[in-house]
Structure 1
Amino acid sequence: MSRLLAGKFSVNVEQTMDAAQSPFPSAQEKRAAREAKRAAVLRAAVQMFNERGFHQTSLDDVAARLGISKPTIYHYLGNKDQVLLECVSIGLGQLIEAAEQSRAREGTGADRLIAFLVRYAEVNMDDFGRCVIRTGDEALAPESRKRFRALKRQIDSDMRGLIAAAIEDGSIPPCDVRLMAFTLAGALNWPARWHDHGGALSSEAVARQMVGILARGFLPR
């Protein structure tokens, strides 16, 4: 083959490859696939922690449910303590996000507080929020425990801040902010233990009805 023909052949091949989609995944596609696999491992793990308890669930169990090997879990998430920390961090992160969104809402302080409480209850009935409620500090290694406690303190601070803001603008009567926060959290944490997703009421319906009952106790009459 002459150099001229070889050159033309090379150009034609390159043009054909450019016109067709590459059979190899792009860096973005690789990242998306990795995140999807990681999310699947986390969802399977958190559901098993909630069903069986953290100590009664092994990474072998999680791997078996997904049809993968235990080293695959180590590759995406690390050891069992790191998996649990990631699960509870997701649940607590959802609550922190809910507080941020509620503070940005229009309306009175009471409106913002109620919006947060509804979302708080909904999160606690989902897999990751349920794991937060069902996980004792002692289940985590010391360093992970510090992170867990810090995030829980943030949630408590956010709830107290929303209560205080509602008192300040007069949309709810003055009260002991700390005691009210404990009361509301205590009531809205319990559905994580008893709510059945296959039951008659959705988590959204349970959240709205419970917050409605609680709100009748702190809204002005």
Structure 2
Amino acid sequence: MQDSLDSESPWKASADRQTEREAKRVAVLRTAARAFNEMGYHNTSLDDIARRLNVTKPTIYYYVRNKEEILFECVRIGLEMLDEASNDVSGHDGSTYDELIAVMRKYAEIVTMDFGMCVIRVGEEPLTEESRRTLRSLKRSIDRKFRRLIERGIEEGSIAPCDPKIAAFTVAGALSWIARWYQPNGGLSAHDIAGQCIDLLMNGLGKAASSGDGRPPT
């Protein structure tokens, strides 16, 4: 009798249950992001997501309220990953130019991941205005960090004089577009693609330095 009283409870502790629930919720979101990226938001149903997870549709409602909440969370996670890209590389030795390169590489790799790709391929347009405002504030934060890096680089002389706003838009826009055409089973890895795209952005296509109007000097 005593052995049965001392046996381990079949019910998990509250903290363990919460951890397990959060892991399953993230699995729902990641699976949904992948489906949105492949089929589009409007063409993806909760039934599609449930089938990919081998669960029933009611099970999905235990972790999210509806499809719009799923998209909001997918885009939010992706934007937060992009926003934190600069935090992951800041404070290292080297010039601001080197730091910018590291941030660009991190950014390019994130947009080839499920949540980062969802930011670019789907975005916040299907959501309510309130949700869009929340997500756009994160986008502004990302843009400000790119601009500050470029401004710092110009000040220290490691980055050529330019309009930081235009430069930030160009860099983020070009790197974001990778998510539109990247294929995980393609011939190049995300790391290789990031390297080539960054090299083109920072060094251009011409053999000689630009004259400032996009044409090589005569």
The structure whose Rg is larger is 1
Give the deviation of 1:13 after TM superposition: 4.2
**Residue 129 (1) aligns with residue 116 (2):** yes
Moved more, 204-213 or 83-92: 204-213
Matching residue within 60, 67, 86 for 2:73: 86
Structure 2 counterpart SS, 1:125: coil
In 2: Cα distance, 1:173 partner to 1:40 partner: 44
Task: Describe how 1:137-148 pairs up with structure 2 within 5 A.
Answer: 137-148=124-135
| Structure 1 residues without counterparts, runs of 5 or longer | 1-8
Structure 1 counterpart SS, 2:43: coil
Flag the 1:63–1:109 CA change in 2: closer, same or farther, 3 A.
same
Structure 2 counterpart SS, 1:42: helix
RMSD of the TM alignment (CA)?
A: 1.8
Aligned to 2:212: none
Matching residue within 93, 98, 116 for 2:85: 98
Aligned to 1:178: 165
Task: Describe how 1:1-221 pairs up with structure 2 within 5 A.
Answer: 12-13=2-3, 17=6, 21-217=8-204
Deviations 1:99-154 (CA, angstroms, capped at 9, x unpaired)? 11232222110011000000111001111111101124431112111112111111
Structure 2 counterpart SS, 1:139: coil
In 1: Cα distance, 2:86 partner to 2:8 partner: 44
Structure 2 counterpart SS, 1:37: helix
TM-score by length of 1: 0.86
In 2: Cα distance, 1:123 partner to 1:69 partner: 30
Give the deviation of 1:21 after TM superposition: 4.0
What is the number of equivalent residue pairs in this alignment?
A: 205
In 1: Cα distance, 2:181 partner to 2:171 partner: 17
| Structure 2 residues without counterparts, runs of 5 or longer | 210-218
Give the deviation of 1:190 after TM superposition: 1.4
In 2: Cα distance, 1:167 partner to 1:81 partner: 42
Aligned to 2:214: none
Instruction: Report percent identity of matched pairs.
Output: 48
Which has the larger helix fraction? 1
In 1: Cα distance, 2:97 partner to 2:117 partner: 26
Work out whether residues 103 and 162 of structure 1, in 8 Å CA contact, stay in contact via their aligned partners in 2: no
Deviations 1:61-100 (CA, angstroms, capped at 9, x unpaired)? 1112212222322221221111001001111111111111
- Aligned residue type for 2:64: L
Runs of 4+ deviating beyond 6 Å: none
